[in-house]
Copies of this chain bind each other. A is one copy, B any other.
Amino acid sequence: MKFTENAAGRKVPVMVNGQEMVPYKGVGKHKPAGRKHAPAIASCADYPADGNKRVDNLREALVKAGLTDGMTISTHHHFRNGDLLANRVFDIAHEMGVKGLRWFPSASFPCHAHLIKYLEDGTIHHIQGSMNGPLGKFVSEGGMQGTGVLRSHGGRYQAIQDGEVTIDIAVIGAPTADPFGNANGLYGNSACGLLGFALADSQYADKVIVVTDNMVEFPCIPWQIQGNYVDFTVQVDKLGDPEQIVSGTTEITRSPDRLLLAELTATFCDAAGIIRDGFSFQSGAGGTSLAVGEYFRKIMQEKNIRARFARGGSNKYLVSMLRDGLVEYILDGQTFDLDGVQSMAQNAGHVWTSPFTSYNYHGKGNFAGMVDVVILGATEVDTDFNANVVTHSDGYLLHGLGGWQNCLFSKTVILPVPLFRDRIPVIRDRVTTLCGPGELIDVIVTERGIAINPLRKDLLEKVEGAGLPIRTIQELKEEAESICGVPQTPAPGEEVAAVIKWVDGTLLDTVYRVKS
């Protein structure tokens, strides 16, 4: 395999899965040429006059869609770890003897460990998409024929829009749909809120199949997915496990260390003048991030101010802020619990978005840049403020990119991270895998101090004298090492397991197979 060094000083392959790659050139440096992917022109003459596109079952739909060797099949992670559909799609492909498929999920979850056998027997050649947990481990250990390609949510939209990935068949699981293919995620046993991750697929895939366990008469209102893009509709008994779809695991951390991180983060934002009337924020669904939101609430109530909008993943905490008038709008990309689903169905201020509106870097702007402050996680950070979210320090690929890269374009990016995990320091000389360039990361909050990116002199000035434990990132790293010892840097791997795309489609870094 031939490699080149990109603008971040990372070694990246020149070709991946037979496709030529563009190495990362720096933030905002790669100017796309050319035109968007142009799907074939359809004609109503080729679709049922009465709009009824139902076929008997998923197998029939896949056959009619022309499922064959080497195709790219997309699915979506709206059902998270409760998804039954993606597994069923590849069970059918396997039964049909189809080989060499490219699976293009918006994300994969532990429930998809079922598909490892199809990666082994060649039904699936490789995965383009985030691989959480067991699939990531399998890929790290060299089990997959092809190379994994990880993209952010926005990067996935960009790749489809730009024709980097052409989808032969998109299979869209829909909690509610009509026979024409209009669909939403708001109602039914598999309700998951919204279907934004499937938007690009519906617009650009060659064939689109909508599968639902709640078929309603036309019109399915609202149509988050538009039936005018859909080829076939299928009714099934069950799309997923409701308990796992809206898992209810979004609970605020009780760890005193994490609560301290969250409080420090909120205090910092307040001191920096970020929490002001009409501001906007995005805070993830992890325990620490949720706690940050709750500290925000307290500050906002004290100051009697409200946010113009909050970006979701929504959850019961954010929903209650909307209900209490602390947040005017939730611009939601993913609902994490039933409170989120119900709020989206009932509250006009709880608005469903998509990777197109929020994250696509190859649009005429997107929402991410308009958010005042975003709170994100990381597995590692280095002294140049570069961060890693996909691999652990032992090299294992265990997490997806999600919207993380896209959120880095917000006005202030804060990573609250513990100084070490299991006695392994989080702040390193160099991150194992580069997911986000340090120039976009503004503040690292740890339980033993806050490091501000020297590029953000304005922030340094604003919090001066506020009594916050401001340190340099070098100092934080040294403190962790004084406690845990200097971590061993694992010898760099040689065989490529996966690659990390940047938001503009260029190659940011390489994930290597771990040495057994």
Contact = CB atoms under 8 A, between A and B. Distances in A.
A74 interface: no
Interface stretch (A295-303, A364-372, A463-471): A364-372
A95 interface: no
Given A221-B348, A365-B51, A357 B36 contact: no
A42 B363 contact: yes
Nearest to A34: B41
Given A228-B357, A356-B228, A218 B366 contact: no
Interface stretch (A25-33, A82-90, A419-427): A25-33
A364 B230 contact: yes
Interface residues of A, number: 65
Nearest to A39: B36
A504 interface: yes
A348 to B, nearest CB: 7
Contacts of A331: 219
A362 B42 contact: yes
A422 B230 CA distance: 48
Interface string A24-67: 00001111111111111111111111110100000000000000
A42 B41 CA distance: 22
Contacts of A349: 221
A361 interface: yes
A49 B409 contact: yes
Interface in A305-346: 308-309, 329, 331
A363 B41 CA distance: 7
B33 A409 contact: no
Contacts of A45: 28-29, 31, 361
B36 A363 contact: no
A217 interface: yes
A407 to B, nearest CB: 13
Nearest to A37: B38
A41 B32 contact: yes
A180 interface: yes
Given A364-B228, A369-B49, A35 B41 contact: yes
Contact of A180 (B32, B223, B365): B365
A510 interface: no
A180 B411 CA distance: 16
A228 B34 contact: no
Contacts of A253: none
Contacts of A362: 41-44
Contacts of A223: 357
Contacts of A228: 356-357, 360, 363-366
A356 B202 CA distance: 14
A278 B217 contact: yes
Nearest to A369: B49
A162 interface: yes
A240 to B, nearest CB: 26
Contact of A35 (B38, B49, B370): B38
A226 interface: yes
Contacts of A34: 40-41
A13 B349 CA distance: 53
Given A217-B278, A329-B221, A364 B51 contact: no
A97 interface: no
A271 interface: no
A229 interface: yes
Contacts of A29: 45
Contacts of A193: none
Given A351-B222, A365-B227, A370-B180, A41 B51 contact: no
Given A41-B32, A351-B222, A369 B50 contact: yes
Contact of A41 (B162, B226, B367): B162
A380 interface: no
Contacts of A363: 42, 44, 228-229
Contacts of A351: 219, 221-222
B218 A365 contact: no
B41 A38 contact: no
Given A36-B40, A44-B409, A219-B367, 5 more contacts: A28-B44, A28-B45, A38-B38, A45-B361, A228-B365
Give 10 nearest A-B pairs by CB, closest first. Answer: A35-B38, A28-B45, A38-B38, A47-B365, A32-B41, A228-B363, A51-B370, A36-B38, A49-B369, A42-B364
6 contacts: A31-B43, A36-B39, A47-B365, A51-B367, A53-B364, A221-B349
